[in-house]
Amino acid sequence: MSFLPWVAGFVVLLVGVLVSVALHELGHMVPAKRFGVRVSQYMVGFGPTLWSRVRGETEYGVKAIPLGGYVRLVGMMPPAPEGRGRGSGFFSQMIADARDQSVEEIHPGEEHRAFYNLPARQKIIVMLGGPVMNLVIALVVFGILIVGFGLPTGQPTTQVGAVSECVPAAVVSAAQGEQECTDTPVPAAEAGLEPGDVITSYDGVAVTGWEQLVGLIEQSPGRTVPVVVDRDGAAVELEITPIATEKQVSDDDAGELVTRESGFIGMSPMAEIRTEWYEAFPAVGQQTWDTMVMVATLPPRIADTARQAFTAEERSPDSVTSVVGVGWVLGDIIALDAPWEDKFAAILSILGGLNIALFVFNLIPLLPLDGGHVVNALYEAGKRAVHKLRGLPRPGPADVARLTPATYVVFLALIAVGGLLFVADLVDPVRIT
């Protein structure tokens, strides 16, 4: 068994994560520099530094663990309010140390370049820059997918998608649940219908939609009718004889189900494919909403994943996964016996979805995530607005350092959840067959 597809899957994931993270951090850095904040570091990855170069006042580099990144904005936390001591408790010392580390990064005479001195609106722009960059990446990826491969809408068209190989016993006998094939010839196959044909006329009536076509077929059981199809731009005339079947329909007068004779030809339609670039917006919007719903229900979903991974219960295909799980899925897609364009489209879709996940996850209103900084800036703006209305002196920047203990708790929780999902994806990964 070759492991090359899965190696390739993890390589694709690695490249996708690095590009997404690099652009995410760029989304923070560019507006920060534009607003005058000194950015001391721009790093892709965590851990030991593999490579770095100093350009201007910023060190750019790549670190050994390619599972994230950061930009160091000088002065994220303001100094302690005047007259406040360090305190002697554990949490007080933690808060004081965080303040000291932030203040030490500020060069003498450059206090005005500290992040905490930015107006609240500029803080929000800087912190939203990263997640918005991931959203833009997702829009570009889905735009490429839609323009290059099309977006199935689920709406049936008058184009033949597939011709049945046989007539099921349920069609002939009207017995529910019977799926075995019969010897009855498939009318669509006998007539010469082929996948890709567009039915333009049925029994002399111009066909304009799927529902209309279904109605015409059902009204012609056992009768040979002319059919015209568009095949590669040429009009082809065929004849088809629908099988007479019994179909239960609602009687509008009595309000009960009645059995009526209906026609059956044995073909399924092609779904409508949209290729306009602007279809990326509703597609990304829907997936963003689905991701938000998933994040809102994350605790029970994580519990389900743990139970399925470490018991005999089968792992659900839609369970929460780590980056390792995504790598397995990408490898499975590469290993599939399918056209390369279909596999490429599936890979792009996953990478686009990954960026939507980064967008939504980073907006969770908890520090150290970007959403936590946004909430802090909104609090600061609200507090200053209230002071202005009451004629009080303008308050200083919000004391973010006081949230340091809670920030550490969230950080440790993220590590614990990530570790759990990592192990679950090693023990019982979600697989595509």
Dihedral, CA of residue 368, residue 370, residue 376 and residue 380, to nearest 10: 140
Q: What is the pLDDT of residues 19-67, one digit of tens each?
A: 999 999 999 999 999 999 999 999 999 889 999 999 999 999 999 988 8
Q: What is the pLDDT of residue 271?
A: 86
CB-CB neighbours of 17 under 10 Å: 23
pLDDT, tens digit (0-9, with 9 covering 90-100), for 60-97: 999 998 888 999 999 999 888 776 666 677 778 888 88
Asked whether the beta carbons of 256 and 136 are under 8 A apart, the reply is no
Q: Does the pLDDT of residue 239 top 90, yes or no?
A: yes
With beta carbons less than 8 A apart as the criterion, state whether 397 and 116 touch: yes
Q: Is-above-0.85 flag for pTM?
A: no
Instruction: Determine how many CB atoms are found less than 10 A away from the CB of residue 203.
Output: 15
> Sign of the C-alpha dihedral, residues 271, 277, 282, 285?
positive
Domains of the chain from N-terminus onward = 4-143+350-427 (no CATH), 154-273 (2.30.42.10)
Angle in degrees, CA 188, 267, 245, rounded to 5: 80
Amino acid 43: pLDDT: 95
User: Quick one: pLDDT at residue 206?
Assistant: 95
Average pLDDT score, the chain: 88
Residue type, 225: V
Q: What is the pLDDT of residue 311?
A: 87
Q: What is the pLDDT of residue 2?
A: 66
What is the predicted pLDDT for the residue at 83? Answer: 63
CB 116 within 8 A of CB 78: yes
Higher pLDDT, 426 or 174: 426
What is the tens place of the pLDDT at every residue in 327-340? 889 998 998 888 88
Residue 200 burial by Cβ neighbours in a 10 Å radius (0-12, 13-18, 19+): middle
Question: Average pLDDT in the 280-292 region?
Answer: 94
Catalytic residue chosen out of the listed positions 25, 218, 279, 380: 25
pLDDT at 207 over 80: yes
Which residues, listed in sequence order, are joined to residue 171 by a DSSP beta bridge? Answer: none
Question: Catalytic residue at 59?
Answer: no
Q: Give per-residue pLDDT as tens, 300-348.
A: 999 988 888 888 888 888 888 888 889 889 998 998 888 888 889 999 9
